[in-house]
Structures are given as C-alpha cells and as structure tokens.
Amino acid sequence: MDLKTLCDMFGGPGDEKEVRRAIAEEARKKADAVTIDRAGNVIAFKRGTDDGTPHVLLCAHMDEVAFIILDATEEGLLRFAAVGGIDPRVCVSKHVLAGKDRVPGIIGAMAIHLQTAEDRKHVLKMDQLYIDIGAASREEALKACPKGSYAYFNTQLQAFGDDCVVAKALDDRVSCWNLLRLMEKRYPCDVTYAFICQEEVGSRGAMGAAFGADADVALILEGTAAGDLGDVPETRKVIRPGEGVGVSFMDLTSLGDTETFNRLLDLGKAFDVPVQIKKGVTGGNDARAFQHMKTGTKTCVLSVPCRYIHGPSSVAKLSDIDAQRDLVRVYLENV
C-alpha cells in the first residue's frame, strides 16, 4: 500500500472503518497476529528473534480531522461542527465530500460584499459556516447527508516542488504508512504495531490500546505542525521540513523518557539518519495514554513536520517521512 492510497481514504474520529479495513488487510500479510479491539484499533504483533529484549510498541493514529453534520437550514444548507482541531479560517470555499455517498459540497459563508465593517474584524466561527451541496430544501439536504454523517476535505495526494507532497491527511497517515513499511522486517525484539483510532478528539482509542499492550517502550509516530514559516523569531521555529524527523522531549500531555530520547538522537547520528529536536512544548498525542495506563510505559514521540496541518492541504517532505521510518528501524535493530 502506498502513501497516496492511505491519504486519499476517509477516516475521521469514530469513522475510521475504511482506513481500518485496509490497514488490517495489509498487516495480515506481514504480522504474526492481527486483532481489532473493541475501540476499533488495529493491533498487529510480530515476534522478535532474540529472547530477553524489550517489547517495543509503535503507535500511529488512523483518524484525520473531519466535519460532522448537525442539521440543515430550510434552504438546504448543511450546518456542521469540526471533529478535531480545525481552524475556521482554512474552511471557507473549500471542496468537501459529505455523507456516506460522498456528495460533493462547498463550505460557504456570507459573501464579503454583504459583511459589515465590524463583521470583517472577526474570524468567522464554525457555526457561521455551512456546506452547500446544491440541495433545494432541508429535507433534501438531510436525505443526502443525515445528522451525524461525516464530511471531509476533498483533496487527493499530489507530489510537487522539491521532494514535497500535499494531502488532507498526512497527519497521521505518514506514520501509518511507515508502520506498514517497518512491519516488512523481523527485529531482535517483539514489536507491537498499534494503529489507533480517535486520536484527534483526545487520544480516546489509545487508552484501551495502552491498557492491553503491556510494552516496555512505546514510540509514538506522529505528524506535527511545522514552525518554519512566518515572521517569527528563530527560537519559535520549533521544527522544520527538510531537516529530518523531530524527536520530542516534552509536549503538553506527555514527557519523553530521557534515556530513550538520548538513545534515538545517538542512533540518528551514528547511522546518518536526519534528526532534529522539536524545540518547543506544544500539542499533545497518544503518548499520554501510554504514560497514564496501568503502571505506565516509557515513551518518546517521533514526528514528521507538516505545514498547514489539520487543513485541506497539508505539506510534508518525503525525506522527513523516510527519516521517521529509518530512525525507528535502527532503534529496533539495535534495541
């Protein structure tokens, strides 16, 4: 399975079935055992060649940010809410696909010609936006896209520029792809590959996976917001595309294990894998679930820098995606 296939699938929090089915099918070709737990996580296991080595868990989340339909106006315009963190400023005039039949739609707002000077001082909120699917009535709109159905940015992965790709769901399908690529080998240690659901709404899927995993170390593979653009001080540019995989010492919900953090940096240097330290304490991810469950697990987060993350057109460097895979590979080979 290639990265485009994974990114072009639709899988919002709680609606990961398309992605889950494809990943589970691919994992069954490579792993010793594959299960799907009650939450909807895909858990694959591959036994190691050496006794006495740690049990390592690799984690990547399957879900992407999305929209959920709340209702429709009498004129047939769909009202919606974000599922995950989406900035309303990236939504207006974007193409979406809504409902189980993937009905084409456009996210709309009041035209600027009709806004007052006071209106233009404020960022539009989600409840001021709507999805126009061309329906003529509320009944017609809700028949096509019932309440509780999902809508997604309609962006297919494309390569462009200097080693770049753009897609709607690089966070975190890049890491799902890397887990599948890493699964092709057998390593000295036992490895659990956890493809997690509902990360974008508070790491809900990871809580059950962490409770059942009982791993010694968990490496969380993620996409993270690149900080290389804009008129900001150099110290605020916390991670940059093209400089390798980012290794985090801390974020807003977890603290990286110092020994594992240093080991990963040393391995990157020794094996010529491009590595950068994420120089900021921002965001959160599934690492917190693994630190909190049962007796806890040592964790460290390895992230691919993504520009314009949680929007319709996220951008990443293929070299950084490969660096994430390569750093994990040398860690498993030298654990």
Integer CA distances (angstroms), 306 to 91, 135, 275, 303, in order: 18, 35, 15, 9
Domain residue spans in the chain?
A: 3-64+168-333, 66-153
Name the band, by pLDDT with cuts 50, 70 and 90, for residue 295: confident
Q: Of the given ranges (135-149, 208-222, 315-329), which has the lowest mean pLDDT?
A: 208-222
User: Model confidence over 223-278: pLDDT tens digits?
Assistant: 999 978 877 787 777 899 999 999 999 988 899 999 999 999 999 999 999 999 99
Q: Kindly state the DSSP code that residue 250 receives in the 8-state scheme.
A: B
Gap between the terminal Cα atoms of the chain = 27
**What is the predicted pLDDT for the residue at 86?**
97
CATH topology assigned to domain 66-153:
Elongation Factor Tu (Ef-tu); domain 3 (2.40.30)
- Does the domain at 3-64+168-333 match CATH 3.30.930.10? Answer given as no
Q: Is the model's pLDDT at 184 over the cut of 80? A: yes
High-pLDDT (> 90) share of the chain, %? 84
Average pLDDT over residues 38-64: 96
User: Model confidence over 4-27: pLDDT tens digits?
Assistant: 999 999 999 999 999 999 999 999
Q: Identify which has the larger pLDDT, 265 or 113.
A: 265
Q: Is the model's pLDDT at 211 over the cut of 90? A: no
Q: What are the residue numbers of the active site?
A: 199
Q: Of the given ranges (186-190, 208-212, 315-319, 324-328), which has the lowest mean pLDDT?
A: 208-212
**Alpha carbons 150 and 83: distance in angstroms, whole number:** 9
Question: Over the chain, what is the mean pLDDT?
Answer: 94
**What is the predicted pLDDT for the residue at 282?**
82
Average pLDDT over residues 194-220: 92
**Alpha carbons 161 and 167: distance in angstroms, whole number:** 14
Average pLDDT over residues 91-107: 97
Contacts with 57 (C-beta within 8 Å, 6 or more apart), sequence order? 191, 192, 193, 194, 213, 215, 217, 218, 219, 290, 297
CATH topology match: 3-64+168-333 vs 66-153: no
Name the band, by pLDDT with cuts 50, 70 and 90, for residue 294: confident
Q: Of the given ranges (62-76, 153-167, 275-289), which has the lowest mean pLDDT?
A: 275-289
Q: Is the model's pLDDT at 118 over the cut of 80? A: no
**What is the predicted pLDDT for the residue at 111?**
77
Name the band, by pLDDT with cuts 50, 70 and 90, for residue 112: confident
Angle at 250 between CA 185 and CA 54, to 5 degrees: 35
Q: What angle, 0 to 180 degrees and rounded to 10, lies between the N-to-C axes of helices 258-270 and 318-333?
A: 110
**Alpha carbons 310 and 67: distance in angstroms, whole number:** 12
Name the band, by pLDDT with cuts 50, 70 and 90, for residue 30: very high
Contact 201, 43 (CB under 8 A): no
**What is the predicted pLDDT for the residue at 280?**
83
Average pLDDT over residues 211-216: 86
